[in-house]
């Protein structure tokens, strides 16, 4: 199904990626890549499916869900799948297959492994005196919804 979505997605102007989220054998949501359609670099198939599934279930967690993807999730999508709490991910094409059609994430994997200042987009820590106050406020909040 995820691969069928990927193929159909190309026909509607999106990228060649599809994802399906299932819980207890029932499809909760699907998504296709709409990066160029929506002018949104985060609109990958898995992200779009996560957004739909969370919206439909009225929950930011997808515990007990299984994801089927037409391709091995990129670093962003994999991170989102961890944050969503899915149980398992099945994928068809590999990251190497994606690289062969110019969807190569190796650069990002390599960048993440580098020290912050050595990345092509340097990540620079700025010591702001009151910044920790917001974290303390959150830590002390009795009625917070943890995630």
**Residues that are catalytic:** 46
Dmax (CA) of the chain = 52
Q: Which position has the token pair 């990958």?
A: 44
Cβ-contact 57, 99 below 8 angstroms: no
Give the integer Cα–Cα distance in Å for 11 and 40: 19
Which residues is 93 bridged to in the sheet?
71
Print the SS3 string covering 44-99.
CHHHHHHHHHHHHHCCCCCCCEEEEEEECCCHHHHHHHHHHCCCEEEEEECHHHHH
């Amino acid at each position: 199904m995820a691969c069928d979505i990927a193929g159909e997605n190309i026909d509607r102007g999106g990228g060649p990626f599809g994802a399906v989220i299932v819980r207890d054998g029932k499809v909760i949501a699907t998504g296709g890549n709409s990066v160029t359609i929506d002018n949104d670099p985060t609109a990958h198939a898995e992200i779009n499916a996560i957004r739909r599934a969370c919206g439909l279930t009225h929950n930011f967690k997808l515990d007990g869900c299984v994801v089927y993807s037409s391709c091995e999730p990129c670093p962003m999508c994999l991170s989102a799948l961890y944050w969503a709490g899915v149980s398992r991910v099945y994928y068809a094409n590999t990251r190497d297959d994606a690289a062969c059609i110019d969807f190569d994430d190796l650069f990002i994997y390599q960048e993440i492994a580098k020290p912050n200042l050595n990345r092509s987009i340097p990540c620079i820590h700025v010591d702001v005196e009151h910044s920790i106050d917001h974290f303390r406020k959150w830590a002390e909040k009795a009625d917070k919804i943890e995630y």
